[in-house]
Amino acid sequence: MSFGPNPWQQTQWDWRAAGNFIGGGAGSGLVMITALSGVQGAAAAALLLAGLALVGLGLACVWAELGRPLRAMNVFINPRTSWMTRESIAASLLMPVGAAAAYFAWTGAANIVWLAGLLALAFIYCQSRMLQGARGIVAWREPLSVQLLLATSLAEGAGLFLLAMPWHGSPLAALLVIVLVLARAGIWFLYRQRLAGRLAARAKTALDGAGRVLLVGGTLLPLLLVAASYAVAGPVLAALAGLLAALAGSTMKFVLVTRAGFNQGFALEQVPVRGARWTAG
């Protein structure tokens, strides 16, 4: 079913669109977490460049999705109403500022990493609003989807930051992961509660599977691994916790975009009946 009163799955956004949310969210989250951590020197430069690379990979995915890639510059023409335009503007600022912040962190000449962090936050916010603007798709238009994507992107960034802890040694890495995966889990529970009874059957099945991955693989296991890493002083366990936190968030985003994106179908308050006289309600 692709048209009619019953819900049908959207086909305009596929794995390439999901790749933008995964790469862009995790990359900008890593930039912001790096800015908050206070890490300096070569480690900060490497983390910033890794975050920018992920953002660039995500943008490359969505560029590949365009039917006419040479018209990609048209995305900048509607900043008043389009969150995609605002996301593109934020990315255009984030890339050079992030690269400059990485250079200055490497050389110790200046410290503008805070500016890169603010632009990364702006990018995440604009990206999170893009899904919520799709009014016909129940799982996307829920207002809590914005907070869910924000928390997920930050948790992914914190997970990658924890994965790299053997190189930067920041004591904040594990704490950031604990706080953010718990916040993400809490928002997920509220998000699913608000969608109860409103989802198409296939959308509900897809989100329930993603939720199990998010709560078990992306919350419970990372928390246990972080606790175990403190008990046995095992950096490998902490790195695994960070990796699981990031992968679970990416899985949830992929499912949300590609498998849970069902239109609600036509909402008919009055159904015409042959032979019956219709009157305005």
pLDDT tens, residue by residue, 27-83:
999 999 999 998 989 999 999 999 999 999 999 988 776 656 556 566 667 777 788
pTM over 0.85: yes
Of 58-67, 170-179, 202-211, 271-280, the poorest mean pLDDT is in: 271-280
Domains along the chain?
15-258 (1.20.1630.10)
**pLDDT digits 0-9 by tens, 75-88:** 667 777 788 889 98
Three-state SS for the chain is: CCCCCCCCECCCCCHHHHHHHHHHHHHHHHHHHHHHHCCCHHHHHHHHHHHHHHHHHHHHHHHHHCCCHHHHHHHHCCCCCCHHHHHHHHHHHHHHHHHHHHHHHHHCCCCCHHHHHHHHHHHHHHHHHHHHCCCCEHHHHCCHHHHHHHHHHHHHHHHHHHHCHHHHCCCHHHHHHHHHHHHHHHHHHHHHHHCCCCCCHHHHHHHHHHHHHHHHHHHHHHHHHHHHHHHHCCHHHHHHHHHHHHHHHHHHHHHHHHCCCEECCCCCCCCCCCCCCCCCC
Model pLDDT, residue 69: 57
